[in-house]
Amino acid sequence: MPKNVLLAEDEPNIVESLTFLLERAGYAVSSEQDGQAALDAALAKRPDLVILDVMLSGIDGFEILRRLRAEESFKGTPIIMLTAKGQREDREAALKAGANLYITKPFSNAEVIEAVKSLVNGESA
């Protein structure tokens, strides 16, 4: 049974490319483009890993991260922040709030796929 990945991203090209790459690597991928929809989907579907953009409409990725980490059932769920916000303060805030990894755009497809594989398998990325 494939591991489930939730992709919260509002850029259609990134959704399309990451969905293709992750599915090719054997993952089941669902995606949401709005912050509230992403939070609702995460809570309802309980994915094995979440990839969060920071800049989403409605609720931003930082707030989604905080809310998911407040849920007991998400304490061990890997969460990757994937964002154009490359400032050190943003990275530190995400890691402090519980992100497992912070990847800035533009990113290497191989880097993201390897990070997903490592985190889903319980390794540190």
pLDDT single digits (tens) 45-100: 999 999 999 999 999 999 999 999 999 999 999 999 998 888 899 999 999 999 99
pLDDT at 124: 64
Residue 125 has pLDDT above 70, yes or no: no
pLDDT at 11: 95
> 53, 66 in Cβ contact below 8 A?
no
Give the start-end residues of each E strand in the chain.
4-8, 28-32, 49-52, 79-83, 101-104
Residue ranges of domains in the chain: 4-120
Tokens for 87, please give them: 């400032």
Q: Can you tell me the distance from the alpha carbon of 119 to that of 84, in angstroms, rounded to the nearest whole number?
A: 21
The tens digit of pLDDT for each residue in 8-57 reads: 999 999 999 999 999 999 999 999 999 999 999 999 999 999 999 999 99
Topology given in CATH for the domain delimited by 4-120: Rossmann fold (3.40.50)
